[in-house]
């Protein structure tokens, strides 16, 4: 049902070539009215990490096209060291899905962290005029990479089907004179 990436005109790159981890200590400047770190702060770090990965993989500028399934699993507190881990999960002609995992550790403690958030973002590689450009094929190195690639294909299928269904509904409602 799911296929490996097809040969691509741009040089292929392995998942490990653009994988990164960003780290940031959360301070009181990052808090919301509840005293925990504002979700928007975490989202910006997620977008920053994903953008760096997309730029590395595509060897140039890439813009955020969509953010799927941003999930906040645990609250983040002042003093947490956030590790934002990102990698390319899937590539198309000009787009890439980047998976991001956010882990929190206390800044002054060692030991395993706690996963606090995750997200999937779609980036489009663009040229100097802002037009989509080709991205390298993704070389899947591990079974985990192959699983992520297959899951990304499912998310893409659902994203495109949702977009089509919404556009069809809007066209139908417009034809019936229900929407302005």
Percent of the chain whose predicted confidence (pLDDT) is above 70: 94
Task: Give 144's pLDDT tier (boundaries 50, 70, 90).
Answer: very high
d(CA 89, CA 106): 29
Q: How many CB atoms lie within 10 A of CB 180?
A: 4
10: pLDDT confidence band, cut at 50, 70 and 90?
A: low
- Tens digits of residue pLDDT in 25-84: 999 999 999 999 999 999 999 999 999 999 999 999 999 999 988 999 999 999 999 999
Average the pLDDT over 155-171 and give the result: 94
Q: Can you tell me the mean pLDDT for 129-154?
A: 96
Nearest partner of 135 among 145, 123, 144, judged by Cα? 123
Residues whose CB falls within 8 Å of the CB of residue 97, separated by 6 or more in sequence, listed in order: 88, 89, 90, 91, 120, 121, 122, 152, 155, 156
SS3 (DSSP) at 32: coil
| pLDDT for res 150 | 97
pTM of the model: 0.88
Question: Is the per-residue pLDDT at 109 higher than 90?
Answer: no
Is pLDDT of 6 > 60?
no
pLDDT at 179: 74
Which pLDDT band holds residue 1 (cuts at 50, 70, 90)? very low
**Closest Cα partner for 57 from 108, 151, 121?**
121
The pLDDT of 124-138, averaged and rounded, is 95
pLDDT, mean over the chain: 92
């Amino acid at each position: 049902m799911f296929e490996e990436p097809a040969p691509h005109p741009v040089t292929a790159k392995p998942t490990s070539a653009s994988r990164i981890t960003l780290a940031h200590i959360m301070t009181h400047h990052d808090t919301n009215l509840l005293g925990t770190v504002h979700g928007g702060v975490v989202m910006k770090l997620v977008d920053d990490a994903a953008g760096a990965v997309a730029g590395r993989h595509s060897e140039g500028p890439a813009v955020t096209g969509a953010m799927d399934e941003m999930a906040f699993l645990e609250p983040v507190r002042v003093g947490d060291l956030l590790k934002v881990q990102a990698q390319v999960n899937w590539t198309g002609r000009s787009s890439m899905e980047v998976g991001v995992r956010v882990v929190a550790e206390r800044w002054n403690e060692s030991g395993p962290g706690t996963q606090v958030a995750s997200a999937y973002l779609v980036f489009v590689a663009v040229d100097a005029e802002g037009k989509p450009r080709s991205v390298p094929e993704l070389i899947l190195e591990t079974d985990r990479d192959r699983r992520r690639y297959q899951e990304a294909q499912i998310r893409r299928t659902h994203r495109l089907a949702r977009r089509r269904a919404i556009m069809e509904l809007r066209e139908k409602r417009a034809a019936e004179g229900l929407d302005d």
